Structure 1
């Protein structure tokens, strides 16, 4: 049970809900935004003193019944509710650290996708394996050393990211990535690599630090994305995410919104830069192994 993370999460969730949203009378101006502690306690059916101790990180371990009541009172989303339970070590949760074994069938799929950019990512956004098109379409992400290949690191430290994503797209992607990383931190509370990544990003990126302090949680899912490429211009793609649940990994693929092959800008990029003879079809990060399942 991570008492300090639980306390921060409860405070940030309480601050975003107004009394009208919660079905309570609005009694006028408030010194701070959001519900009062006594209002959350009332909605959750618990004593004010007990709730205050939870927010101060010194209360007793809440039961599942209490967690369910808090989730209802704070109007948590499904992702936020799961995160709340993970903070208490409740519910299904992987042990140890994110897995770096990629099923061999997934690697074969990356190779077979050919012109479709695709990569395998673990819970902390490390890219474990990728096909050649991934490095072609993502610019300086593709130029990062394999042992530093991490999407969070690229998003917040790349000097060239805004050549590929405008401010709106970069901001939306940054918010979603940090919220998703917060979910992973709840699932793996003792993983030193996640802790090190958070510390690194907090130290070097004020934008990351501000987003991390919000305690937003949301699992990354399919989305549309617009980016700019120096060779093919502005491209709209579907960013599709396939789960590998027994490894807690995801396969991310970029497919053109225009399904006609003759108008597909991603296919055009592949034609502009054909691979030299003998170029491997896929790459694998150091320390990553393939496993047959």
Structure 2
């Protein structure tokens, strides 16, 4: 691990970003350009003290998961992402598809969606990034164990994930996830991760096993979904899916019809949900 070079790289990457670049509110009292250390720490889901020690070349060797979080927080390109791993003494991940490094273009769009829930998913359902509104609607993914950051696994194995949907809608939504996963398994036969997820869920969930045998295939691009939120109640939201150029990542945006009751509830969620996030 090259601590001085890592510290210099982190400082320079932080200095080139402003609050607006990462979806944060600006402050007129900034004495120097760039994000503050605590803002990078917040975006990466780590303590401000830990991040400060990294920039001071005296921190412990970051884990691969922590490096990936820093790459997302600092909006690194694929080359910069690999450079970060090299400086930390790690081999950058080389995945056949569905990489966890969120493309800067998707993050740029995500950062500018302040008033509507949006999140970036891998094609097998891993939540890679979410804005504050998505955290308010679906829950903060960074607070969950890594396995439960996959929306397909959570739907079929976690009662809380199932409770977020009206009971009468559950099988339809579940079927769409299975059909999407079926398409991914066929498209990436040499990638063990989609196949492993399928094997796990077939063993864990009779419903998944039944839906899998139907052999339905469909890549989701748009939908209308209902959500049950514990504070604001039920919301009916339009779901639009924007695919990356490679097709292995997707930006999912949830919007409410103007003037609808769900639109009013979404506005309430923006107030109540974001307050809850700031407290936590």
Fold shared per TM-score above 0.5: yes
Asked if 2 retains the 8 angstrom alpha-carbon contact of 1:101 and 1:247, the reply is: no
Asked if 1 retains the 8 angstrom alpha-carbon contact of 2:124 and 2:184, the reply is: yes
Offset at residue 143 of structure 1 (A): 4.6
Distance 1:146 1:267, change over 3 A: farther
CA distance in 1, matches of 2:277, 2:250: 30
Offset at residue 105 of structure 1 (A): 2.6
Offset at residue 160 of structure 1 (A): 1.9
CA distance in 1, matches of 2:277, 2:240: 30
Task: Tell me what 1:255 maps to.
Answer: 255
Task: Tell me what 2:57 maps to.
Answer: none
Task: Tell me what 1:129 maps to.
Answer: 129
DSSP 3-state at the match of 2:102: strand
CA distance in 2, matches of 1:261, 1:210: 36
CA radius of gyration, larger in: 1
Q: Does 1:168 align with 2:168?
A: yes
Counting helix residues as a fraction of each chain, which structure ranks higher?
Answer: 2
Task: Tell me what 2:229 maps to.
Answer: 229
Offset at residue 278 of structure 1 (A): 7.8
Structure 1, residues 25-70: CA drift from partner, whole Å, max 9, x if none? xxxxxxxxxxxxxxxxxxxxxxxxxxxxxxxxxxxxxxxxxxxxxx
DSSP 3-state at the match of 2:240: strand
CA distance in 1, matches of 2:217, 2:262: 40
97-106 or 223-232, larger mean C-alpha shift: 97-106
Structure 1, residues 97-139: CA drift from partner, whole Å, max 9, x if none? 3233322132122121012111111111111111121121114
Asked if 2 retains the 8 angstrom alpha-carbon contact of 1:239 and 1:255, the reply is: yes
Q: Which has the higher contact order (CA 8 A, sep 6+)?
A: 1
CA distance in 1, matches of 2:139, 2:277: 22
Asked if 1 retains the 8 angstrom alpha-carbon contact of 2:118 and 2:253, the reply is: yes
Offset at residue 261 of structure 1 (A): 10
Q: Which runs of 5+ in 1 are unaligned?
A: 1-94, 280-293
Q: Which runs of 5+ in 2 are unaligned?
A: 1-94
Asked if 1 retains the 8 angstrom alpha-carbon contact of 2:162 and 2:170, the reply is: yes
Taking structure 2 as the reference length, the TM-score comes to 0.60
Task: Tell me what 1:290 maps to.
Answer: none
Asked if 2 retains the 8 angstrom alpha-carbon contact of 1:141 and 1:154, the reply is: no
Distance 1:220 1:209, change over 3 A: same
CA distance in 2, matches of 1:215, 1:277: 40
Task: Tell me what 2:185 maps to.
Answer: 185
Taking structure 1 as the reference length, the TM-score comes to 0.57
Task: Tell me what 1:99 maps to.
Answer: 99
Task: Tell me what 1:3 maps to.
Answer: none
Aligned residues: CA RMSD: 2.7
Q: Does 1:144 align with 2:138?
A: no
CA distance in 1, matches of 2:161, 2:257: 22
CA distance in 2, matches of 1:141, 1:168: 25
DSSP 3-state at the match of 1:179: helix
